[in-house]
Amino acid sequence: MLSLLLAAALLDPTATPVVLPSEPAALHATLLTPEGPTRAVAVILPGSGPTDRDGNSPGGLVASTYRLLAEGLAGQGVATVRIDKRGVAASAAAAVAEQDLTFQTYVDDARAWAAEAARITGRPCVWLIGHSEGSQVALAAAEGGNPSVCGLVLLAGAGRPAGVILREQFQAGLPPALLAPAFAALDELEAGRTVTDAPAELAGLFRPSVQPYLISWIGLDPVDLIEDYTGPVMIGHGSTDIQVGMADARALSAAQPAARLVVWDGVNHVLKLAPADRAGNIAVYGDPALPLAPGVVDDVAGFILEPR
Protein backbone atom coordinates (compact mmCIF):
# COMPACT_ATOMS: atom_id res chain seq x y z
CA MET A 1 0.00 0.00 0.00
CA LEU A 2 2.78 2.42 0.93
CA SER A 3 4.59 1.88 -2.36
CA LEU A 4 1.38 2.60 -4.25
CA LEU A 5 0.85 5.83 -2.32
CA LEU A 6 4.42 6.93 -2.95
CA ALA A 7 4.06 6.18 -6.64
CA ALA A 8 0.84 8.19 -6.80
CA ALA A 9 2.54 11.12 -5.08
CA LEU A 10 5.17 11.22 -7.81
CA LEU A 11 2.60 11.64 -10.56
CA ASP A 12 1.70 15.14 -11.69
CA PRO A 13 -1.99 15.77 -12.33
CA THR A 14 -3.01 17.80 -15.37
CA ALA A 15 -5.03 21.00 -14.95
CA THR A 16 -7.28 22.07 -17.82
CA PRO A 17 -9.54 25.15 -17.94
CA VAL A 18 -13.22 24.35 -18.48
CA VAL A 19 -15.78 26.84 -19.78
CA LEU A 20 -19.51 26.23 -19.39
CA PRO A 21 -21.82 28.33 -21.60
CA SER A 22 -24.30 30.32 -19.54
CA GLU A 23 -26.18 33.61 -19.47
CA PRO A 24 -25.29 36.43 -19.06
CA ALA A 25 -21.75 35.02 -19.43
CA ALA A 26 -19.87 31.75 -19.26
CA LEU A 27 -18.95 29.94 -16.04
CA HIS A 28 -15.38 28.79 -15.43
CA ALA A 29 -13.68 25.89 -13.68
CA THR A 30 -10.57 23.71 -13.55
CA LEU A 31 -10.55 20.05 -14.53
CA LEU A 32 -7.74 18.28 -12.66
CA THR A 33 -7.04 14.82 -14.03
CA PRO A 34 -4.65 12.20 -12.64
CA GLU A 35 -1.46 11.44 -14.51
CA GLY A 36 -2.47 7.79 -14.42
CA PRO A 37 -5.89 6.28 -15.16
CA THR A 38 -8.96 8.26 -14.13
CA ARG A 39 -11.05 6.01 -11.92
CA ALA A 40 -13.89 8.44 -11.16
CA VAL A 41 -14.85 12.10 -11.63
CA ALA A 42 -16.27 14.55 -9.09
CA VAL A 43 -17.49 18.16 -9.13
CA ILE A 44 -16.55 20.20 -6.05
CA LEU A 45 -19.36 22.60 -5.07
CA PRO A 46 -18.23 25.56 -2.93
CA GLY A 47 -19.74 26.97 0.22
CA SER A 48 -21.53 30.26 0.79
CA GLY A 49 -20.30 33.72 -0.12
CA PRO A 50 -17.84 34.72 -2.86
CA THR A 51 -15.91 31.45 -2.71
CA ASP A 52 -13.70 30.58 -5.67
CA ARG A 53 -12.62 27.25 -7.16
CA ASP A 54 -9.73 26.89 -4.72
CA GLY A 55 -11.94 27.46 -1.68
CA ASN A 56 -10.85 31.04 -1.01
CA SER A 57 -12.71 34.34 -0.71
CA PRO A 58 -11.85 38.04 -0.26
CA GLY A 59 -12.96 38.08 3.39
CA GLY A 60 -9.81 36.39 4.64
CA LEU A 61 -10.54 32.79 3.72
CA VAL A 62 -7.34 31.55 2.05
CA ALA A 63 -7.21 27.93 3.22
CA SER A 64 -7.24 26.61 -0.39
CA THR A 65 -9.31 23.65 0.80
CA TYR A 66 -10.76 22.75 -2.61
CA ARG A 67 -7.43 22.94 -4.41
CA LEU A 68 -5.83 20.70 -1.80
CA LEU A 69 -8.75 18.28 -1.97
CA ALA A 70 -8.59 18.14 -5.77
CA GLU A 71 -4.84 17.53 -5.72
CA GLY A 72 -5.18 14.79 -3.13
CA LEU A 73 -7.97 13.08 -5.02
CA ALA A 74 -6.00 13.23 -8.27
CA GLY A 75 -3.23 11.33 -6.50
CA GLN A 76 -5.71 8.51 -5.95
CA GLY A 77 -7.17 8.45 -9.44
CA VAL A 78 -10.16 10.75 -8.97
CA ALA A 79 -10.48 13.64 -11.42
CA THR A 80 -12.26 16.77 -10.24
CA VAL A 81 -13.94 19.82 -11.68
CA ARG A 82 -13.71 22.65 -9.18
CA ILE A 83 -15.72 25.72 -10.03
CA ASP A 84 -15.76 29.48 -9.63
CA LYS A 85 -19.37 29.93 -8.58
CA ARG A 86 -21.53 32.34 -10.50
CA GLY A 87 -20.43 35.93 -9.90
CA VAL A 88 -17.04 34.97 -8.43
CA ALA A 89 -13.45 35.17 -9.79
CA ALA A 90 -13.34 34.05 -13.46
CA SER A 91 -17.14 33.60 -13.37
CA ALA A 92 -17.68 37.20 -12.22
CA ALA A 93 -19.26 38.26 -15.52
CA ALA A 94 -21.92 35.59 -15.08
CA ALA A 95 -23.34 37.34 -12.02
CA VAL A 96 -27.04 38.06 -12.00
CA ALA A 97 -28.56 41.02 -10.16
CA GLU A 98 -28.61 40.28 -6.45
CA GLN A 99 -32.37 40.66 -6.27
CA ASP A 100 -32.70 37.98 -8.99
CA LEU A 101 -30.38 35.46 -7.33
CA THR A 102 -32.00 32.49 -5.59
CA PHE A 103 -30.76 29.22 -4.16
CA GLN A 104 -32.17 27.51 -7.24
CA THR A 105 -29.67 29.46 -9.36
CA TYR A 106 -26.81 27.55 -7.72
CA VAL A 107 -28.71 24.26 -7.95
CA ASP A 108 -29.22 24.75 -11.69
CA ASP A 109 -25.52 25.59 -12.10
CA ALA A 110 -24.53 22.44 -10.18
CA ARG A 111 -26.70 20.29 -12.43
CA ALA A 112 -25.17 21.91 -15.51
CA TRP A 113 -21.65 21.32 -14.19
CA ALA A 114 -22.42 17.67 -13.42
CA ALA A 115 -23.66 17.11 -16.97
CA GLU A 116 -20.66 18.97 -18.44
CA ALA A 117 -18.15 17.08 -16.29
CA ALA A 118 -19.66 13.79 -17.41
CA ARG A 119 -19.57 14.91 -21.05
CA ILE A 120 -15.96 16.09 -21.16
CA THR A 121 -14.65 13.04 -19.30
CA GLY A 122 -16.82 10.49 -21.09
CA ARG A 123 -18.32 9.24 -17.82
CA PRO A 124 -21.93 8.09 -17.44
CA CYS A 125 -22.13 10.05 -14.18
CA VAL A 126 -20.01 12.09 -11.77
CA TRP A 127 -19.91 12.55 -8.01
CA LEU A 128 -20.93 15.78 -6.32
CA ILE A 129 -18.72 16.87 -3.43
CA GLY A 130 -20.53 19.67 -1.61
CA HIS A 131 -18.81 21.67 1.12
CA SER A 132 -20.74 23.74 3.65
CA GLU A 133 -23.65 25.38 1.75
CA GLY A 134 -22.47 23.39 -1.27
CA SER A 135 -23.61 20.29 0.58
CA GLN A 136 -27.21 21.48 0.40
CA VAL A 137 -26.72 22.50 -3.25
CA ALA A 138 -25.47 18.96 -3.98
CA LEU A 139 -28.51 17.40 -2.30
CA ALA A 140 -30.90 19.60 -4.27
CA ALA A 141 -29.02 19.04 -7.55
CA ALA A 142 -29.34 15.26 -7.12
CA GLU A 143 -33.06 15.47 -6.35
CA GLY A 144 -35.27 13.40 -8.60
CA GLY A 145 -32.59 10.85 -9.44
CA ASN A 146 -30.39 13.07 -11.62
CA PRO A 147 -28.71 10.60 -14.03
CA SER A 148 -25.57 12.75 -14.19
CA VAL A 149 -24.92 12.15 -10.48
CA CYS A 150 -23.28 8.92 -9.24
CA GLY A 151 -23.52 9.84 -5.57
CA LEU A 152 -22.84 12.54 -2.98
CA VAL A 153 -20.06 13.49 -0.59
CA LEU A 154 -21.35 16.06 1.91
CA LEU A 155 -18.58 17.84 3.82
CA ALA A 156 -19.31 20.10 6.80
CA GLY A 157 -22.90 20.45 5.61
CA ALA A 158 -25.92 21.71 7.49
CA GLY A 159 -28.45 19.13 8.65
CA ARG A 160 -31.09 21.62 9.72
CA PRO A 161 -32.89 24.51 8.00
CA ALA A 162 -30.83 27.68 7.71
CA GLY A 163 -33.25 29.56 9.95
CA VAL A 164 -32.47 27.24 12.86
CA ILE A 165 -28.73 27.63 12.41
CA LEU A 166 -28.92 31.40 11.96
CA ARG A 167 -30.86 31.71 15.21
CA GLU A 168 -28.09 29.80 17.01
CA GLN A 169 -25.46 32.04 15.47
CA PHE A 170 -27.41 35.18 16.36
CA GLN A 171 -27.84 33.95 19.93
CA ALA A 172 -24.11 33.40 20.23
CA GLY A 173 -22.87 36.50 18.45
CA LEU A 174 -25.38 39.38 18.44
CA PRO A 175 -25.78 41.99 21.19
CA PRO A 176 -28.92 41.30 23.26
CA ALA A 177 -30.68 44.40 21.90
CA LEU A 178 -30.51 43.04 18.35
CA LEU A 179 -31.77 39.53 19.07
CA ALA A 180 -35.49 40.31 19.01
CA PRO A 181 -35.45 42.24 15.69
CA ALA A 182 -33.15 39.63 14.11
CA PHE A 183 -35.47 36.79 15.12
CA ALA A 184 -38.49 38.76 13.93
CA ALA A 185 -36.85 39.27 10.53
CA LEU A 186 -36.16 35.53 10.25
CA ASP A 187 -39.80 34.80 11.10
CA GLU A 188 -40.92 36.99 8.21
CA LEU A 189 -38.46 35.49 5.73
CA GLU A 190 -39.44 31.95 6.71
CA ALA A 191 -43.05 32.91 6.01
CA GLY A 192 -42.01 34.07 2.53
CA ARG A 193 -42.40 37.77 3.28
CA THR A 194 -39.79 40.48 2.80
CA VAL A 195 -38.62 42.65 5.69
CA THR A 196 -38.69 46.43 5.61
CA ASP A 197 -37.82 47.38 9.19
CA ALA A 198 -34.62 45.48 10.00
CA PRO A 199 -32.20 47.50 12.18
CA ALA A 200 -29.41 49.30 10.37
CA GLU A 201 -26.88 47.14 12.21
CA LEU A 202 -28.32 44.10 10.40
CA ALA A 203 -28.49 45.68 6.95
CA GLY A 204 -25.63 43.55 5.68
CA LEU A 205 -27.67 40.40 6.20
CA PHE A 206 -31.20 41.66 5.62
CA ARG A 207 -30.70 44.23 2.85
CA PRO A 208 -33.70 44.17 0.48
CA SER A 209 -31.76 42.91 -2.54
CA VAL A 210 -30.60 39.73 -0.76
CA GLN A 211 -33.97 38.83 0.75
CA PRO A 212 -35.23 36.87 -2.30
CA TYR A 213 -32.22 34.57 -1.93
CA LEU A 214 -32.76 34.21 1.80
CA ILE A 215 -36.43 33.35 1.30
CA SER A 216 -35.56 30.70 -1.30
CA TRP A 217 -32.91 29.14 0.97
CA ILE A 218 -34.02 29.59 4.53
CA GLY A 219 -36.97 27.22 4.47
CA LEU A 220 -35.20 24.29 2.80
CA ASP A 221 -34.64 21.32 5.10
CA PRO A 222 -31.59 19.18 4.26
CA VAL A 223 -33.20 16.29 6.13
CA ASP A 224 -36.09 16.22 3.65
CA LEU A 225 -33.62 16.22 0.74
CA ILE A 226 -31.40 13.43 2.06
CA GLU A 227 -34.37 11.28 3.06
CA ASP A 228 -35.51 11.23 -0.56
CA TYR A 229 -32.10 10.49 -2.08
CA THR A 230 -31.44 6.82 -2.83
CA GLY A 231 -27.87 6.95 -4.14
CA PRO A 232 -24.66 6.48 -2.12
CA VAL A 233 -23.91 9.28 0.35
CA MET A 234 -20.94 10.04 2.57
CA ILE A 235 -21.30 12.61 5.35
CA GLY A 236 -17.93 13.99 6.48
CA HIS A 237 -17.62 16.28 9.48
CA GLY A 238 -14.88 17.61 11.75
CA SER A 239 -15.23 17.60 15.53
CA THR A 240 -13.86 21.15 15.89
CA ASP A 241 -16.06 22.73 13.21
CA ILE A 242 -17.26 25.98 14.81
CA GLN A 243 -19.52 26.94 11.90
CA VAL A 244 -21.60 23.80 11.49
CA GLY A 245 -21.87 21.53 14.51
CA MET A 246 -21.90 17.78 14.92
CA ALA A 247 -25.66 17.99 15.51
CA ASP A 248 -26.05 18.71 11.80
CA ALA A 249 -24.01 15.68 10.73
CA ARG A 250 -26.01 13.49 13.09
CA ALA A 251 -29.30 14.86 11.74
CA LEU A 252 -28.27 14.00 8.19
CA SER A 253 -27.09 10.56 9.24
CA ALA A 254 -30.28 9.81 11.16
CA ALA A 255 -32.39 10.86 8.18
CA GLN A 256 -30.50 8.55 5.80
CA PRO A 257 -29.26 5.47 7.71
CA ALA A 258 -27.68 4.06 4.55
CA ALA A 259 -25.29 7.02 4.39
CA ARG A 260 -21.74 6.67 5.71
CA LEU A 261 -20.94 9.09 8.53
CA VAL A 262 -17.23 9.88 8.94
CA VAL A 263 -16.12 12.11 11.83
CA TRP A 264 -12.59 13.55 11.79
CA ASP A 265 -11.32 14.32 15.27
CA GLY A 266 -9.83 17.77 15.74
CA VAL A 267 -10.77 18.93 12.25
CA ASN A 268 -12.48 22.25 11.56
CA HIS A 269 -14.79 23.66 8.89
CA VAL A 270 -12.04 24.01 6.28
CA LEU A 271 -11.06 20.36 6.83
CA LYS A 272 -7.78 21.04 8.60
CA LEU A 273 -6.51 20.20 12.07
CA ALA A 274 -7.52 23.03 14.39
CA PRO A 275 -8.10 23.62 18.10
CA ALA A 276 -11.58 24.08 19.48
CA ASP A 277 -10.92 27.63 20.73
CA ARG A 278 -12.29 30.20 18.32
CA ALA A 279 -9.15 32.28 17.80
CA GLY A 280 -6.95 29.30 17.07
CA ASN A 281 -9.61 27.71 14.90
CA ILE A 282 -10.13 30.82 12.76
CA ALA A 283 -6.37 31.28 12.33
CA VAL A 284 -6.33 28.06 10.30
CA TYR A 285 -8.68 29.67 7.74
CA GLY A 286 -5.86 32.01 6.71
CA ASP A 287 -3.07 29.48 6.19
CA PRO A 288 -3.02 27.83 2.74
CA ALA A 289 0.27 26.10 3.60
CA LEU A 290 -1.46 23.82 6.10
CA PRO A 291 -2.43 20.50 4.52
CA LEU A 292 -5.84 18.94 4.80
CA ALA A 293 -6.23 16.84 7.92
CA PRO A 294 -5.05 13.24 7.74
CA GLY A 295 -7.83 10.96 6.59
CA VAL A 296 -9.90 13.51 4.70
CA VAL A 297 -8.64 12.72 1.19
CA ASP A 298 -8.31 9.01 1.90
CA ASP A 299 -11.85 8.73 3.23
CA VAL A 300 -13.40 10.70 0.38
CA ALA A 301 -11.44 8.85 -2.31
CA GLY A 302 -12.09 5.49 -0.65
CA PHE A 303 -15.83 6.09 -0.59
CA ILE A 304 -16.00 7.28 -4.19
CA LEU A 305 -13.92 4.35 -5.45
CA GLU A 306 -15.60 1.68 -3.35
CA PRO A 307 -16.91 -1.15 -5.54
CA ARG A 308 -20.70 -1.08 -5.85
Which tens digit of pLDDT belongs to each residue from 264-293? 999 999 999 999 999 999 999 999 999 999
**Residue 207 burial by Cβ neighbours in a 10 Å radius (0-12, 13-18, 19+):** middle
**pLDDT for res 1:** 39
3-state secondary structure (DSSP) of residue 260: strand
Least-confidence region, from 7-21, 87-101, 246-260: 7-21
Same-domain pairing of 87 and 172: no
Judge whether 89 and 17 are in contact, CB under 8 Å.
no
The answer on pLDDT for 156 being more than 90 is: yes
Amino acid found at 231: G
Do 86 and 232 lie in one domain? The reply is yes
103 and 213 in contact (C-beta within 8 Å)? yes
User: Is residue 25 very low, low, confident or very high in pLDDT (cuts 50, 70, 90)?
Assistant: very high
pTM check: above 0.75:
yes
Q: Are 279 and 147 in the same domain?
A: yes
Task: Say yes or no: 91 and 115 in one domain.
Answer: yes
Contact 242/269 with Cβ under 8 angstroms? yes
Residue 307 has pLDDT above 60, yes or no: yes
- Which of 197, 219, 241 is the C-terminal boundary of a domain? 219
Give me the domain span that covers residue 107: 2-161+220-305
Q: What is the pLDDT of residues 93-144, one digit of tens each?
A: 999 999 999 999 999 999 999 999 999 999 999 999 999 999 999 999 999 8
C-alpha to C-alpha distances, 275 to 284, 286, 298, nearest whole angstrom: 9, 14, 22
- Band of the pLDDT at 300, cuts 50, 70, 90? very high
Residues 188-207 have a mean pLDDT of 92
What confidence score (pLDDT) does residue 84 get?
Answer: 98
| Strand residues in 34-125 grouped as ranges (E) | 40-45, 78-84
The enclosing H or E element of 152 equals strand 149-155
228, 202: one domain: no
Q: Verify that 278 and 137 share a domain, yes or no.
A: yes
Residue 81 near residue 18, CB atoms below 8 Å: yes
For residues 285-307, give the mean pLDDT: 97
The pLDDT value given to residue 168: 87
Residue at a domain's end among 203, 219, 235: 219
Q: Are 255 and 230 a contacting pair, CB within 8 Å?
A: no
pLDDT confidence band for 237 (50 / 70 / 90): very high
Residues 110 and 42: their CA atoms lie apart, in Å, by 11
Report the length, in residues, of the chain. 308
pLDDT above 90 for 241? yes
Q: Which of 104, 145, 116, 96 is nearest to 18 (CA)?
A: 116
In a shared domain, residues 55 and 200: no
pLDDT of residue 5: 37
| 259 contacts 227 by C-beta, under 8 angstroms | no
| pLDDT recorded at residue 219 | 83
Which of these, 229, 178, 244, lies nearest to 205 by C-alpha position? 178
Share of the chain above pLDDT 90, in %: 89
Distance CA 305, CA 185 (A): 45
pLDDT for residue 4 is more than 70? no
Which pLDDT score, from 0 to 100, does residue 220 have? Answer: 92
Tens of pLDDT, residues 52-84: 999 999 988 999 999 999 999 999 999 999 999
For residue 115, which amino acid is it?
A
Tell me, yes or no, whether 146 and 209 share the same domain: no
278 and 210 both lie in a single domain: no
One domain, residues 147 and 175? no
Task: Note whether 175 and 155 are same-domain residues.
Answer: no
